[in-house]
Structure 1
Amino acid sequence: MNDTRADRPLQIAVTIDDFVLWDGVPAVDDVSPTDTTRSVAKTLNEYGLTGTYGFSHTYRLDNEPEHMAAFDAWAEAGHHLGNHTHQHAPLRWMSDDAFRNDFEIAEKYIGHLIEAAPSKYFRYPMDMSSGSERRRGEVEEYIGARGYRNAPITSWFSDFAFIVPYFRAVTLGDKEFQAQIRNLHVSTAVDMLYRHADTARTLFGADAPLIWLVHGTPISRDTLAPIFEAFLERGVEFVTLDEAMKHPMNFGMPPCAESFTNHLQRFALAAGIPKPELDLEQLGEIINFAPIPGIDTMSTYEEGLFKPLAKRVGAEYDWDWS
């Protein structure tokens, strides 16, 4: 991956989503969510990133209460929790009452840990706040009345796409494949950070503090340190979520969009400029890496995660990857 843009110092607030991964997504056999959470939390602490906010849905606690240990381990390591709803379903798939109920179920599980944080944050599942300005406004009023602020995502690198390929590489036992995809994970993180930074600079006339997302996955556990090293080599400064939230890019609200887009990408769409995203060739390289018959990346997500989720919340399956 050739990044021709000049590296420059940037400020980013690191956030971690879904360290208890969604049911239906394959996991490396010897890695539990609690193991991954402890490892990610330890790496954050080693780089001075104490007090990092994590946003993890709570649905798996219904049937697998042992995963509460991951939430506890996150807090015990000195990090903070926000509300990410219970089932991790997009707002547009749920009625107003159902969405609020989902929010409150998550509070029942981890509200005591959320209350221990210096600020109360909420993150929409997939950072998707519906195609309806009215409905999003009502949600914003609802969470505001409960003392929360929306913590959006203004930089990501589609790291969810690496979960199944990394599982395949580990399953195959091919050390070279595993090293290759870890290196790709790191280089993609760097590349997409600067693509988002360039977009923010175009939109706002100067660099803005980015709220950066990575999921708590086995591959993140194994690559977070080299990602941070690559960032630091380029002059990245880590800031707190509270500090990043002072910038209007992060507390302002772009128009809603139906597609799978983050907060900054929606600002770009509204301004009529290209949104920062992986091109199809890059995405294809990732999702097709280390193939195993019967374990297709996109089919795994659609059949194992999104379609069952839609059925569970009583929604027609409707997903726009663009």
Structure 2
Amino acid sequence: MKALRCALAALCLAAAPQLHAQSVAFSFDDGPRLSATPRLAPQERNAAMLAALAKHRVKAALFVTCGNGADRPEGAALARAWGQAGHVVGNHTMTHLDLNGEKTTLARYQQEVRDCDRIVSTLPGYRKWFRYTYLREGNTPEKRDGMKGFLREQGYRNAYVTLDTSDWRLDGKLVEVLTKDPKANLEPIRQAYLAHIKQRALAYRALSQRLQGRDIPQMLLLHHNLINALWLGDVIQQFRDMGWAIVTPELAFADPVYALEPQRSVPGQSLLISMGRSLGLTTQDIGLRLMDDGDFEIEGLKELGL
């Protein structure tokens, strides 16, 4: 364990200081959803996200939670549309179990991966990529090591995230506001959402420079939800306006940083946060706003009466 920590420290802190052009790849979790939202039917939400990606010529990855809809013909059709459009389709379990949950056994979690794979492996664009639910990789040595071994034996890539966001929290606020008033002015939520994405992007970029001595191709985590059906195009344009290049998930994962396995007793979260934790960085060292679940933006919206 000590040797591994030392090796990781050497990789992270002794990396060449020369920075490269900043890039980002887009990925989406938990889709496709068949649940109702105050605006846009499931098919419309799916089509809106795919249209935004197509308009901006972005290839992304969709990590399917099959119980959200892909286990039914109408939901499978939505997931299939992603593969047909040239996007990667990966595995995000059947029911989004939490591997850190006290009642979640290793065997049950692994079975959820197998069951989801039986569905997503039939879709165009399928890759044997797995993303941990909640980005939690196990709260006991049995779960942590058992899942790592399972992924290796089954040939899965751990589809790490580096640029984590709380889009789900702002999506919840969006749904809440529209439920109360379908004609509400949504511009404050749109602005808060874009500001949140920008803040996280800049903070994770700074963390990658600190830990790796360079810019890495960031893997962005968003979700298959209403907020992205409405404003994904704005998110993409904001990255371009910031001067960031948008790359494919395959190109991002080719970077050697994604081969690292930070050694922590409870691994998970953004790969960059996990790396920092393994090197002894505290929450204060890393920065609370990388882990506040969008509290800053939500409080700002409350001050505006939303």
Q: CA separation in 1, counterparts of 2:294 and 2:125?
A: 38
Q: CA separation in 1, counterparts of 2:98 and 2:293?
A: 27
Q: CA separation in 2, counterparts of 1:54 and 1:282?
A: 22
* Structure 1 pair 13–62 and aligned structure 2 pair: CA distance change class (3 A): closer
> Which of the residues 25, 29, 49 maps onto 2:58?
49
TM-score if structure 1 supplies the norm length?
0.77
Write the mapping of 1:14-163 to structure 2, written as runs, cut at 5 A. Answer: 14-21=26-33, 27-50=36-59, 52-61=60-69, 65-93=73-101, 94-113=104-123, 116-117=124-125, 119-163=127-171
Q: CA separation in 1, counterparts of 2:38 and 2:230?
A: 15
Q: CA separation in 2, counterparts of 1:276 and 1:257?
A: 21
Query: Percent identical across equivalent pairs?
Result: 21
Q: Which amino acid aligns with 1:214?
A: L
TM-score if structure 2 supplies the norm length?
0.81
Which 4+ stretches in 1 moved above 6 angstroms?
none
Deviation at 1:60, TM superposition (A): 3.2
Corresponding position: 1:173 with 2:185: no
> Which of the residues 258, 282, 286 maps onto 1:250?
258
> Which of the residues 288, 291, 295 maps onto 1:283?
295
Find the residue that maps to 2:74 and give its secondary structure. helix
* Structure 1 pair 62–54 and aligned structure 2 pair: CA distance change class (3 A): closer
Q: CA separation in 1, counterparts of 2:233 and 2:207?
A: 26
* Structure 1 pair 255–22 and aligned structure 2 pair: CA distance change class (3 A): farther
Q: Output one character per residue of 1:290-320: Cα deviation in whole Å (capped at 9) or x when no partner.
A: 69xxxx9xxxxxxxxxxxxxxxxxxxxxxxx
Q: CA separation in 2, counterparts of 1:104 and 1:285?
A: 38
* Consecutive unaligned residues in structure 1, runs of 5 or more: 1-7, 297-322
Which deviates more from structure 2 when the two are superposed, residues 178-187 or residues 280-289?
280-289
Number of aligned residues: 278
Instruction: Answer whether contact 2:67 2:95 (CA < 8 A) is retained.
Output: yes
Q: Which amino acid aligns with 1:266?
A: S
Which deviates more from structure 2 when the two are superposed, residues 229-238 or residues 33-42?
33-42
* Structure 1 pair 103–238 and aligned structure 2 pair: CA distance change class (3 A): same
* Structure 1 pair 185–9 and aligned structure 2 pair: CA distance change class (3 A): farther
Q: CA separation in 2, counterparts of 1:63 and 1:76?
A: 18
Deviation at 1:33, TM superposition (A): 3.0
Q: CA separation in 1, counterparts of 2:70 and 2:23?
A: 38
Instruction: Answer whether contact 1:254 1:267 (CA < 8 A) is retained.
Output: yes
Find the residue that maps to 2:96 and give its secondary structure. coil
Instruction: Answer whether contact 1:34 1:73 (CA < 8 A) is retained.
Output: no
Find the residue that maps to 1:17 and give its secondary structure. strand
Instruction: Answer whether contact 1:153 1:262 (CA < 8 A) is retained.
Output: yes
Deviation at 1:78, TM superposition (A): 2.2
Write the mapping of 1:6-21 to structure 2, written as runs, cut at 5 A. Answer: 9-21=21-33
Instruction: Answer whether contact 2:169 2:293 (CA < 8 A) is retained.
Output: no
Find the residue that maps to 1:112 and give its secondary structure. coil
Find the residue that maps to 2:221 and give its secondary structure. strand
Write the mapping of 1:276-315 to structure 2, written as runs, cut at 5 A. Answer: 276-278=287-289, 283-286=295-298, 289=301
* Consecutive unaligned residues in structure 2, runs of 5 or more: 1-19
Corresponding position: 1:212 with 2:220: yes
Instruction: Answer whether contact 1:38 1:74 (CA < 8 A) is retained.
Output: no
Deviation at 1:248, TM superposition (A): 3.2
Instruction: Answer whether contact 1:58 1:109 (CA < 8 A) is retained.
Output: yes
